[in-house]
Amino acid sequence: MVEGTHGGFRWLEKHPKVTWVSYPGLPSHRDHEHAKKTFRPGYFGGMLNFGVEDGSRFVDNLTLASNLVNIGDTKTLVVHPAATTHSQLTADELRLAGITPDMIRVRPDFFLLGSFGRL
């Protein structure tokens, strides 16, 4: 990911409405040191997860990113897993799968921060 993308992830960490951010390229990630040894320098994968209250509403209000679940697409994709890809699971199954009600999953292309101004 490019430095601008990492900057966007750090911006999310500081946003008052974001409850948590999970990306191995961030020093705050529990596996950051392992990721630095495993991945190519500066490249930590293409998926970001973060928590925001009322995640479904957040995704519905995006303007510069696509609310899609096809991770094979070339667009920036944003999904609320609990309401879409994992909606068939019970609350216990969601918990076991690590899917929280506030989770937003982003597969950024260029991480369009303008979309996240709607938090």
Per-residue pLDDT at 48: 84
DSSP 116: H
**CB under 8 Å to 51, separation ≥6 — which residues?**
18, 19, 20, 21, 100, 102, 103, 104
Instruction: Write down all domains in the chain, each with its CATH number in brackets.
Output: 3-36+44-116 (3.90.1150.10)
Q: State pLDDT tens for residues 7-31.
A: 677 888 889 999 999 888 888 889 9
Positions in the chain short of pLDDT 70: 1-7, 64-75, 108-119
Per-residue pLDDT at 115: 47
pTM of structure: 0.72
Per-residue pLDDT at 77: 78
Per-residue pLDDT at 116: 47
Per DSSP, the three-state class of 46 is coil
* Residue 84, both tokens: 């879409």
Per-residue pLDDT at 19: 93
Beta strand spans in the chain (E) = 18-22, 48-52, 77-79, 103-107
